[in-house]
A and B are shown apart, each in its own frame.
Chain A
């Protein structure tokens, strides 16, 4: 088990390097100059000067300098003042990428974790309701709602929730960030597609499990349908949900652009999209780096939890599941 975790963590730097290099390649291809804004056009001399100052005149120097600064090699060699410095943001002269991620990530993470928690509660309940009585009108109802949950985009549900709960009933504030009540509507909006997906996964998992031999044995021993499901089927039916949860949590935690925009939440998703549109090379790479680390770590967590829930899975021998 430990060997497996260590092996996966050792792969991390290599994966990250490939991700960063690919991202850099793609961002570099975006036309335009991150230093130029819409509207006024500075004289060409200034544009050239800025390009040189930010090493935008040569992708090789830029990328080399970036890798040295981010990894801490530059710090060890004495080129940079600090290790793990993601650099200055190119579109925000007053902020470093570290500051922007430091400000945005906790907010996106709060909304993301909250959304996953809400999604788990709603999704599990809905999945159980349907899975225990497949074919009933309750099952059809929850499946229909789940389908709507997956299909309706967040900007519709978000706007709807704002109009209903914030503008009409004034239970929640409309926009911004500052108190826990600010977080609830964004969490709920973000959770709905996840909840719907979880409900469907769980429902089909349960239906399948209920027909297996060991469940029939359990029923034969005198357990009621509900007891059998609760004690024996749920754990196995939950496995697909679990493997969905890893990447889902990473997606939710790194911020949904749509939800953050609709609710004017200053999270990482918004910063990322703004960065891409503005060709803010350093900020794009910084956020992608954070996202990659998160995705890898959460997938690792899921693999470990898998082995814990299902003892048949042997991480030490298979390397991965």
Chain B
């Protein structure tokens, strides 16, 4: 009997010992620690989350990078480039001294391999379409998709036939796609038609190069499906080969990730910090407490419910010193320098200087279901553009941003953030006008005929209860939904019903068209109106509204064929006018903002460009003494 108990005791000891091994108190704390959402993947071609792209920006250097102040493309691995007179062929010259962390030179083949990978349906990259402007790229994607489907339907599923399929895929890529490597440091890209924002795309992180040899060890051709499969493992510290200013030294699942300078790195993005640690903190309140106690230096997305109050404290402090701040800004100081030089905030007065509200390259909107019928077969009142316009006109967006979100975001009447793209003139959009809203409703036949405050159609049927779908988990979204429902009830005489669903379930409802009005929103990927306008294109995968308008589609096509950049933007502006003044498939509310929490007197290197493409390599700690004003 006793030996059995002893046996269990030994097992318990082993478990305990193994558990204690998860501690690592000896590790030195990093120079910069920041809270972020969990990193999803470090595979540069598969990324799409902002937090992943942020890490990638320090691990991988692409052809270009974006200037942190102006947001314009600047050289990275490519030192120079030229275009052909028809603007369809781009020739990039790569740095001869660029190296991977294993010492290999970074060559044009590394870019070609990475871009081929991005164009394989096997990779399941969210951003394959970014390369579709390249000659033959979308055809190659379709070719491979079809070839895989045929392979799956075929009889031979052995290693040889899978290998043969892969070999023919390589040959097809060489033949079809306009990506050429005349020598190891020259990359030639042929585009289908001129793309004004091509360089901006080259700075996008999913177009980063890849060290094929390091990936090949984890890649195999699956004989059953014919797919090129990569096993997880090649992105782990010690295995992942990168070419950026920093390298991955540690990654523990949902616990921490640590980057340190890459000593092999030569290029324009030399790192300033000795080490940067990413700590995923899911609970928004815990993140604030961790910041307050000094465990982290930066909260990269402040979502705590009381964040509007925190932002208010910072605004109060800045307002008190507004004059001195302007003075320093005019003298050429950066925002952080100017903030750090101001007199310290007075906590007794409820002031602070560490909450920063940054406007982002994204628009918060709600979607109207534009299908003729609802998913339950009932007629959809929102199929009528007059009704959509009425609902848009009835929203007091200023009240939303000042007293509902209380973050004073800039109110939006357009989908493309106003002023975000050089040379693009945004249309006016619809104002807040309740009288006009009621007229629009009446013109659609919805009038309060019985005097009960609810509008009815000619047959006397009341307006169906408006089904408002939103994603739970974000109090901001819910508060907006409640406010919208009240505004529509008061202005238009319609009843709304809020339906909060968890992200995955809500997405499924969106896909099936099971909603009347749903929460939307979009962040732009590249500096061109099409990154937003494509959302309304017929058949676009992100067109949750199922909006389809022949004139709008024709305008987009016309713009794609237009060679003159100025004329092209004019056409796009007309297309957007159609969306935001006439058709209203979505109702723009405001520009997105992101809240950062960091003390400018302690940490520097944050970019305030709306693209929010922070470079971790630029973050560094500053001495508080030297940052305070000289007496």
The answer to whether A binds B is yes
Of A46, A89, A177, A278, the contact of B124 (CB 8 Å cutoff): A46
Residues 243 to 302 of chain B near chain A (Cβ within 8 Å): 252-256, 279-283, 285-287, 289-290, 292-293, 295
A94-B236 in contact (CB<8A): yes
Enumerate A1-44 residues with CB–CB distance to B below 8 Å: 1, 5, 30-32, 35-44
Chain B contacts of A132 at CB under 8 A? none
B465 at the interface (CB under 8 A from A): no
Our pick among B145, B283, B293, B508 for the contact of A166 (Cβ within 8 Å) is B293
Q: Mark A256-292, 1 if CB is under 8 A from B, else 0.
A: 0000011110100011000001110000000000000
Taking a contact as CB atoms closer than 8 A, the residue among A38, A175, A305 that contacts B286 in the complex is A175
User: Is the Cβ of A110 less than 8 Å from the Cβ of B20?
Assistant: yes
Q: Are A262 and B253 neighbours in the complex by a CB distance under 8 Å?
A: no
A49 touches B227 (CB 8 A): yes
Specify which chain A residues have a CB less than 8 angstroms from the CB of B252 in the assembled complex: 103, 266
Interface string of B365-397 (1 = CB under 8 A from A): 000000000000000000000000000000000
Asked if A195 is at the interface of the complex by the 8 Å CB criterion, the answer is: no
Nearest residue (CB) in A for B512 is: A31
Partner of B122, one of A32, A49, A109: A49
Find chain A residues with CB under 8 A from B279 CB.
175-176, 264
Q: Bound complex: CA of A176 vs CA of B23, how far in Å?
A: 11
Asked if B331 CB lies within 8 Å of chain A CBs, one says no
Inter-chain contact A40/B48, CB cutoff 8 Å: yes
B4 at the interface (CB under 8 A from A): yes
Contact with B along A37-70 (1 / 0, CB 8 A): 1111111111001101100000000000000000
Which residues in A have their C-beta under 8 angstroms from that of B281? 175-176, 264
Cβ of A301 and Cβ of B1 under 8 Å apart? no
Quick check: B225 and A52 within 8 Å, CB to CB?
yes
Interchain CB contact under 8 A, B295 and A173:
yes
Distance, CA A40 to CA B295, complexed state (A):
33
A178 touches B128 (CB 8 A): no
Given A49-B121, A53-B229, A304-B5: A113 and B19 interface contact (C-beta under 8 Å): yes
Given the known interface contacts A175-B289, A180-B23, the answer about A44 and B541 at a Cβ–Cβ threshold of 8 Å is: yes
B24 and A113 contact, CB distance less than 8 A: no
Closest A residue by C-beta to B282: A261
> How distant is the Cα of A96 from the Cα of B253 in the complex, in angstroms?
11
Q: What's the Cα separation between A162 and B289 when bound, in Å?
A: 8
Q: A53 near B122 (CB under 8 angstroms)?
A: yes
Select B19's contact among A31, A106, A173, A278, beta carbons within 8 Å: A106
Q: Would you call B21 and A43 a contact (CB within 8 A)? A: no
Which of A41, A109, A159, A266 is the one whose CB lies under 8 Å from B255? A266
Q: Which of B60-68, B180-188, B498-506 contacts A (4 or more CB under 8 A)?
A: B498-506
Q: Using a CB-CB cutoff of 8 Å, which residues 219-270 of chain A contact chain B? A: 261-264, 266, 270
Are A175 and B295 neighbours in the complex by a CB distance under 8 Å? Answer: yes
Counting CB contacts under 8 A, is B620 at the interface? no
Chain B CB within 8 A of A100 CB: yes
CB-based nearest B residue for A81:
B231
Q: Does B232 contact A (CB under 8 A)?
A: yes
Nearest chain-A residue to B541 (Cβ)? A41
B507 at the interface (CB under 8 A from A): yes
Is A217 interfacial (CB-CB < 8 Å)?
A: no
Query: Are B503 and A262 in contact, with the CB atoms below 8 A?
Result: no
* A95 interface contact, C-beta 8 A: yes
Give CA–CA (A32, B235) in the complex, Å: 27
A145 beta carbon closer than 8 Å to chain B: no
Please judge, given known A-B contacts A40-B48, A266-B253, A277-B504, whether A178 and B19 are in contact too, CB under 8 Å: no
CA distance A93 to B148 in the complex (A): 21
Does chain A have a CB within 8 A of B49? Answer: yes
Verify if A174 is at the interface (C-beta below 8 Å from B): yes
Q: Give the residues in chain A near B283, CB-CB below 8 Å.
A: 175, 261-262, 264
A100–B542 alpha-carbon span in the complex (Å): 32
Complex Cα gap A38–B279 (Å): 22
Partner of A32, one of B18, B287, B508: B508
- In the assembled complex, B126 has its CB within 8 A of some CB on chain A: yes
Indicate if A104 sits at the interface (CB-CB under 8 A): yes
Contact with A along B140-166 (1 / 0, CB 8 A): 011001001000100000000000000
The 8 Å CB contact of B542, one of A37, A40, A262, is: A40
B43 within 8 A of A: yes
CB distance from B506 to the nearest CB of A (A): 9
Q: What CA separation (Å) do A147 and B504 show in the bound complex?
A: 38
Contact yes or no, A96 B295, CB < 8 A = no
Interface centre among A40, A107, A162, A279 (most CB of B within 10 A): A40
Q: List which B337-375 residues lie within 8 A (CB) of chain A.
A: none
Quote the shortest CB–CB distance from A265 to chain B (angstroms).
Answer: 9
* Complex CA–CA separation, A41 to B470 (angstroms): 18
- B463 touches A (CB below 8 Å): no
A194 to B526, CA, bound (A): 54
User: Whole-angstrom distance from the CB of B311 to the nearest CB of chain A?
Assistant: 20
Q: Which residue of B lies closest to A311 (CB)?
A: B1
What's the Cα separation between A260 and B19 when bound, in Å? Answer: 16
On chain A, the residues within 8 Å of B502 by CB distance are 277
- The reply to whether the CB of B551 lies closer than 8 angstroms to some CB of chain A is no
Q: What are 30 A-B contacts with C-beta separation under 8 Å? A: A32-B504, A38-B471, A39-B49, A41-B541, A43-B541, A45-B121, A45-B141, A45-B142, A49-B148, A52-B148, A53-B124, A53-B222, A93-B232, A94-B42, A94-B232, A94-B236, A96-B232, A103-B255, A110-B20, A173-B293, A174-B295, A175-B279, A175-B295, A176-B290, A261-B282, A264-B283, A266-B253, A271-B254, A279-B504, A308-B4
Besides A93-B46, A167-B289, A174-B289, 6 other CB < 8 A contacts?
A: A36-B507, A49-B227, A53-B122, A109-B15, A159-B285, A178-B25
Ranked 9 nearest A-B pairs via Cβ: A110-B19, A266-B255, A32-B504, A41-B541, A179-B25, A106-B19, A266-B254, A264-B281, A45-B145
